[in-house]
Structure 1
């Protein structure tokens, strides 16, 4: 069954359900609306034609679904620099062998730097955009 997005736009529910069964090999969940079925099928057809989902997407989705969260940030290496704008001021932090250098002082962790900059408790990796939620 070779479908186009244009064909999906005009299909009745029974035809959409048959297309779902053909594409996924399972019955369509009963609570899905016709509009959602159309959007989902159109997306799937386009994704399959363009080579599927981006590399790593499925593994990341499975990792998150299992509760393990996102992959960890790459390790910071000495000599690296982090920039963060806070209240109109750009802060530059240098990664050193012994910690993080900011404002002529070395801190043991990024969280300590973030606390010094903001005056509040922050996750350093989150504050500097190295983890989700920033």
Structure 2
């Protein structure tokens, strides 16, 4: 029995399935696409296919509605209707359950998956915050949302674009 058959009879975690996508042969990628989307692959761009498959796997696994996300969206929609403008995002940078965050640090790629209970799965261990994971990776204190690119740096880069002389 090969790994592909075994994966379907004993489902691995979504994290493991997504992490294993780069190891699959292109024929296996196309087969998995057909199973998930009930159609042939629209193109043969491997990167595109892997990303869409990863998204679909997460979509299937984490179908549950995130109440916080729904509330935030309702507030934003109300603001847009009232003011006609899309104001700055809420300060809450928590990603939706099932989101996979990827960060390369010192040549090593680190993957973190957001769980439905609001925690973070990193290397099979659960963490309550991204900052704890960033510290684990770097050995120094970091803002987790900043380290993983969920919020911009406080310092703005200087740009000469738009400056008239």
TM-score (norm 2): 0.37
TM-score (norm 1): 0.45
Which of the two has higher C-alpha Rg?
A: 1
